[in-house]
Structure 1
């Protein structure tokens, strides 16, 4: 028995240290599972102490640096990843060009955020609005975190990339515990605890990058052109993939009062448990599929969509059944009203994750343009649906509007396979070959 346990531990350790695609997925799954557990802990602390209204104010203030950094990224993270894979002989020039563009995006995003936040937070106190504007100084942290993470993933350094993911939430949890014990936890100090760890993390990430790249701002004009050319075409998919959830929150902030926003924030954060599997496949799929032949890319993408989708469905069914007990245990009776929208958002999360995975085939084959347009239309339809259904049905109406928008995006990207790639649409039901693949690639490691 002891030898069996020792063998399992050794194989698990090899999976966490390996560099192939399967090991990368295992590593990313482990990192994202840790992040989810930490986020539940941080959410429990803030929800219990701040209450629904305070939790809503915190959620409303915390989102803006990420939202504006991602929404105005011009597709830079995906462009960097693809270009590093496509032109490995020009790695340092490409990375230097990405740093240069990141500086411009940081300044531009911060200025736009300061100008537009007052219009997006009209239901919130003026103090919360001013504090949110001040938090725009955190935009460079978000931009360069994404640039450096994409560079590590392109270099198959998934261990470092995942450390970039889970170390900040762990630091945030530690700060929140200190604030709670000293009775200094307010919506604003809670927000600061999410962003302050990013400063030492950025310094550490720069030190890691120096091991793989040499930063020079001379002779990078051609690399800038490549990044911009791919980035603008990939911008829509990049925006949809990164911002689908955040756009939901921005729209929620504009139509919901702080207490209702608190309920929505809790339901949304729990749904991220469902996305952990699919997002792990997305993280590994694009770097591994980039610049391969179309047939190979479609095969990899189809299998990833089926396997991750089935795992997410099983998780969704379990979580919807357990939702009342989990919400009451973690957050208290005041948050039980979030159960209906949580169940709707659970379905939306699974479908949205599948749509994002299917989109990676177009990113990897340098054909992001048309699917970006179609996906963007589906996403934009969510705004009028929210404005119509939320006043009629409250929080549940908002969830139904988001579900409708996501279904349009999923169907649209599925149709793009025969139209754009000239390949049959992927089957979404798990096959016997998929089960054999799971047995060979995953279970054999343990």
Structure 2
């Protein structure tokens, strides 16, 4: 009972560590669900069919990132700095998505037959309606998630991230159970479950979302603030989206559906190492925004060092287990991409660490530094993708991404050293981190002891 009480306190607390703990747990569950979904789709459709389904669901995700205009991040930032303007900020950000969805959906409908020229007409037709219908849903999900983060409602934020893939998995298993192997019906399941989850999220955040009455001057002022900061981070986020999705674009244009099927499996499996780091990145930006620069650097630096140490210790033994499981769960054909899997594992932890550090620049109102970093890394990575992919296939893509992750991390550390005068040695190692961990463990032990005493009383 005492252990359960301690876990309950850790889970329910509102501090930075407790929030990261909950978000890490959610990330782990999401990773498990996504992996199970990948297994189900691989077994349902095989390598080629898996690639075709991946091509269908790829486009709305890409386009939502391209036309986000930095609004989710800007919403978090402005809600922290413009007290009392929440209603106008929220209304302006949500209403802007209506024309954006209509315009981009139309462009996608017209362009997809060309963009997917190597795919069967059935796949192109499914992708067109799926992209047009899912784009507004994903844009709303991004805004609701940002609003939940800024309001400290991480139950909604984590719920959206978990319930969408979980409902997708349940729907796919139901289709498989009745022998329905239609790509169209699988895409329909994905669209329907996303609508259900975003409806739940909107209902849960109803008191924070008021868009029924437009107030011209105040809403215009809020829009200026949103796009003012959004224009600073949009370049960063656009480059981040392109950086994370360009590998798929290269496969779509230069390789086959089979290659895309192989790649989506090994890439998703390698992301298991990003569970903790992604949780830290998602939580730490809204938590440290508004602090003084020294506290931001100290907090983010400690999170970076501890996460990188933990994941480095974990990655080497477990990636070999991952290859073994890949053959059992997905099937022997997917072992063809095992070398790419190894490379992507290391790319994952380096890239995750660099994003933790980059969150400090956004929190201090200096997103331009991240933009510069992303621009340089993207140019080099894209050049390497086109250079290495024809010769080495999926392995070439993985190597290009690894080199890009190293460049991003190096540029981030250099920026902190040059701009903020942070000693490089201090960012990579600080013996006080171990004291911090020891104090946390002692605190946990004291809480456990107090709980035991209360139970006995």
Query: Counterpart of 1:404?
Result: 403
Does residue 1:229 correspond to 2:228, yes or no?
A: yes
Name which of structure 1's ranges 64-73 and 435-444 shifts more when overlaid on structure 2: 435-444
| Conserved 8 A contact 1:62-1:132 | yes
Query: Counterpart of 2:75?
Result: 80
With the length of structure 1 as denominator, give the TM-score of the two structures: 0.94
Q: Where in structure 1 are there 5+ consecutive unaligned residues? A: 1-5
Query: Counterpart of 1:292?
Result: 291
SS of the residue 1:123 aligns to: coil
Q: 1:342 to 1:188 in 2, by over 3 A?
A: farther
Query: Counterpart of 1:29?
Result: 24
Does residue 1:45 correspond to 2:35, yes or no?
A: no
Q: Give how far 1:440 is off.
A: 3.1
Does residue 1:214 correspond to 2:210, yes or no?
A: yes
Q: 1:106 to 1:439 in 2, by over 3 A?
A: farther
Query: Counterpart of 1:3?
Result: none
Q: 1:390 to 1:88 in 2, by over 3 A?
A: same
SS of the residue 2:208 aligns to: coil
Partner Cα separation in structure 2 for residue 241 and residue 437 of structure 1: 32
Q: Where in structure 2 are there 5+ consecutive unaligned residues? A: 449-457
Name which of structure 1's ranges 157-166 and 419-428 shifts more when overlaid on structure 2: 419-428
Query: Counterpart of 1:255?
Result: 254
Correspondent of 1:176 among 163, 172, 176: 172
Query: Counterpart of 1:199?
Result: 195
Q: Give how far 1:427 is off.
A: 4.1
Partner Cα separation in structure 2 for residue 412 and residue 111 of structure 1: 38
Partner Cα separation in structure 2 for residue 113 and residue 377 of structure 1: 28
| Conserved 8 A contact 2:240-2:374 | no
Query: Counterpart of 1:165?
Result: 161
| Conserved 8 A contact 1:271-1:346 | yes
Q: 1:169 to 1:443 in 2, by over 3 A?
A: farther
For residues 82-108 of structure 1, the C-alpha deviation after alignment (integer angstroms, 9 at most, x for no partner) is 111111221111111111222233233
SS of the residue 2:119 aligns to: coil
Partner Cα separation in structure 1 for residue 441 and residue 97 of structure 2: 37
| Conserved 8 A contact 2:62-2:241 | no
Q: 1:151 to 1:394 in 2, by over 3 A?
A: same
Partner Cα separation in structure 2 for residue 27 and residue 443 of structure 1: 20
For residues 57-102 of structure 1, the C-alpha deviation after alignment (integer angstroms, 9 at most, x for no partner) is 1111111111101111111110001111111221111111111222
Q: 1:121 to 1:316 in 2, by over 3 A?
A: farther
Aligned residue pairs total 441
Does residue 1:125 correspond to 2:124, yes or no?
A: no
Describe how 1:119-158 pairs up with structure 2 within 5 A. 119-136=114-131, 137-158=133-154
| Conserved 8 A contact 2:33-2:165 | yes
SS of the residue 2:290 aligns to: coil
Rg comparison, structure with higher value? 2
Correspondent of 1:12 among 7, 17, 20: 7
Name which of structure 1's ranges 123-132 and 339-348 shifts more when overlaid on structure 2: 123-132
For residues 275-332 of structure 1, the C-alpha deviation after alignment (integer angstroms, 9 at most, x for no partner) is 1111000011100111211111111111111111122223321332213311111101
Does residue 1:91 correspond to 2:86, yes or no?
A: yes
Name which of structure 1's ranges 105-114 and 54-63 shifts more when overlaid on structure 2: 105-114
| Conserved 8 A contact 2:340-2:395 | yes
SS of the residue 2:85 aligns to: helix
Query: Counterpart of 2:454?
Result: none
Q: Give how far 1:185 is off.
A: 2.2
Q: 1:11 to 1:223 in 2, by over 3 A?
A: same
Describe how 1:281-430 pairs up with structure 2 within 5 A. 281-425=280-424, 427=426, 429-430=428-429
Q: Give how far 1:112 is off.
A: 3.4
Q: 1:312 to 1:443 in 2, by over 3 A?
A: farther
With the length of structure 2 as denominator, give the TM-score of the two structures: 0.92
Partner Cα separation in structure 1 for residue 209 and residue 130 of structure 2: 30
For residues 334-371 of structure 1, the C-alpha deviation after alignment (integer angstroms, 9 at most, x for no partner) is 11111100011111111111111111011001111233
| Conserved 8 A contact 1:19-1:157 | no
Q: 1:416 to 1:201 in 2, by over 3 A?
A: same
For residues 118-159 of structure 1, the C-alpha deviation after alignment (integer angstroms, 9 at most, x for no partner) is 343232222212221211211011011010111011011112
Q: Give how far 1:426 is off.
A: 6.9
Query: Counterpart of 2:185?
Result: 189
| Conserved 8 A contact 2:361-2:369 | no
Q: 1:363 to 1:392 in 2, by over 3 A?
A: same
| Conserved 8 A contact 2:323-2:335 | yes
Partner Cα separation in structure 1 for residue 371 and residue 57 of structure 2: 28
Report the RMSD for the aligned CA atoms in angstroms: 1.9
Query: Counterpart of 2:272?
Result: 273
| Conserved 8 A contact 2:108-2:128 | yes
Q: 1:11 to 1:267 in 2, by over 3 A?
A: same
Partner Cα separation in structure 1 for residue 280 and residue 69 of structure 2: 23
For residues 256-276 of structure 1, the C-alpha deviation after alignment (integer angstroms, 9 at most, x for no partner) is 201111110100110121111
Name which of structure 1's ranges 316-325 and 47-56 shifts more when overlaid on structure 2: 316-325
